[in-house]
Amino acid sequence: MKFRENTKKTGRSTRPVRARKTKRANTESNQNVRKVLNIDFDVSCMTAFKKLGLDTPILRALKTLKFEKPTSIQEQAIPYAIAGKDILAGSETGSGKTLAFGAGIIQNAKSRAGVQALILTPTRELAEQVSSSLKVFAQTTRLNITAIYGGVSINPQIRNLTRTEVIVATPGRMLDHINRGTVKLGNINTIVLDEADTMLDMGFIRDVESIIRACPKKRQTMMFSATLTDGVQKLSKKHTMNPVKLFTKSSVDPKKLTQIAYNTSVNLKFSLLAHLLKNEESELAMVFCNTRRNTDRVTKDLNYVGIRAKAIHGGLSQDKRNKVIQNFHSKRIDVLVCTDVAARGLDIQGVSHVYNYEVPIDSNQYVHRIGRTARAGKEGKAINLILKRDQRKFSKVLSDNALTVAKEKAPYVERAQLRETQAVAQGYNRKQQFAR
């Protein structure tokens, strides 16, 4: 990986954000993408999508995206989604599930007929990602799609909710709007629970159920989940009617994924990470830590040794989180150092390496982490840095999933020179708390 020198911190824009601007944001973004309508359009190369029942407006959008054929989950789900059937799908991020549930919504929703579809996602990043994708899929229609999540001002959301047809929301902020009476749910005919397993893991079950109860009973319900755990099945039994059950193979190709474990010591762990990041032939890399604090520390130290890294975790403001994700997407940073929650469900193209700087709590989390790489036919590497004290925990994580991880001898590394003052200023004891 080639790293550019760290540049100076970019200052915040000093331009005032005008209320009028925010007010029009939704409409404008839709109008901008509609300009794409001017392209010459020939649906003949879209036969495979057409066969699923998609009509011209959405086919146009898919053509601009250069999608050639549907993914497995799209092939299975789109006809049912358009027909209004309930769906329970085992399908992970990266499988193309947003179009799988979004196609039906976009095709069936009517402009200016109130909120007709509600998609619930577990994280703010995922809400942003799903709503951006839907805006692109709906670029040739007059539908408005609004992302609703916490950590940002509620007022622009209240204004946008009066003229939107599709909402993509995190449960907490959605419930807030329902309780304030700032959203009308009477016309909702479709609910999607995206990443249902994560939603349950994150303890959103009560919020999700309250939201579903506030929506009309006569509706289509689609549930998408990377893993179909007992909790997900139970939720599906409660809220779907005779759902079609769909399963897709993992979008991570095990043949393209190399998994390695290096035993290392407290003193050399950080240095090994920095060495690998600098010397491995790679595109983008994600480094997983278990706490916000360690995420920040690793990031700071990577920056100090000249690696363009940024942290993402739940302790950062939403603006900052969105900016970091955007910069990683556009490859302005090379390394994303993250906690599990912030990185769940994100689909980022070009992640060639996933590093487990700290051992995940269980095999489920391990699988979620490594699933960020080896996608869409590309090669990927998952590298685990294991301290002696973590070996048992790591063996347990692997044995639960019968995963094959090659144990390799770590390359020789010199201990990275870091500013001691940095550690002292943060009041942390390197030896005890944080393995370098």
Q: How far is Cα 13 from Cα 265, in angstroms, rounded to an integer?
A: 43
- The distance from CA 185 to its chain's CA centroid, rounded to whole angstroms, is 26
Q: Which is nearer to ligand AMP, 167 or 346 (CB)?
A: 346
Is residue 159 at the binding interface for ligand AMP, with CB under 6 A as the rule? no
Is residue 259 at the binding interface for ligand AMP, with CB under 6 A as the rule? no
- Report the nearest approach of ligand AMP to the CB of residue 11 (Å): 31
- Report the nearest approach of ligand AMP to the CB of residue 76 (Å): 13
Buried b (16+ CB within 10 A) or exposed e, 379-404: ebbbbbbbbeebeeebeebbeeeebe
CB 244 within 8 A of CB 80: yes
Report 333-392 residues binding ligand AMP (CB under 6 A).
347
Q: Which is nearer to ligand AMP, 49 or 288 (CB)?
A: 49
Alpha-carbon Rg for the chain in angstroms: 23
Is residue 70 at the binding interface for ligand AMP, with CB under 6 A as the rule? yes
Tell which one of 97, 124, 173, 344 touches ligand AMP (CB under 6 A): 97
Q: H-helix or E-strand containing 396?
A: helix 391-399
Decide: helix, strand or coil at residue 295: helix
Name the nearest CA neighbour of 376 among 345, 405, 400, 352.
Answer: 352
Q: Which is nearer to ligand AMP, 132 or 303 (CB)?
A: 132
Which residues in 307-427 belong to E strands, given as ranges? 309-312, 335-338, 351-356, 380-386, 406-408
Residue span binding ligand AMP (CB under 6 A) among the ranges 94-102, 189-197, 286-294, 385-393: 94-102
Task: Give bridge partners of residue 87 from the DSSP assignment.
Answer: 222, 244
Is residue 189 at the binding interface for ligand AMP, with CB under 6 A as the rule? no
Is residue 71 at the binding interface for ligand AMP, with CB under 6 A as the rule? yes
Is residue 94 at the binding interface for ligand AMP, with CB under 6 A as the rule? yes
Is residue 76 at the binding interface for ligand AMP, with CB under 6 A as the rule? no
Q: Which is nearer to ligand AMP, 157 or 198 (CB)?
A: 198
Residue span binding ligand AMP (CB under 6 A) among the ranges 96-104, 113-121, 185-193, 259-267: 96-104
Helix%, strand%, coil% for the chain, nearest 5: 45, 15, 40
Is residue 224 at the binding interface for ligand AMP, with CB under 6 A as the rule? no
Instruction: Point out which residues bind ligand AMP (CB under 6 A).
Output: 67, 70-71, 74, 93-99, 347
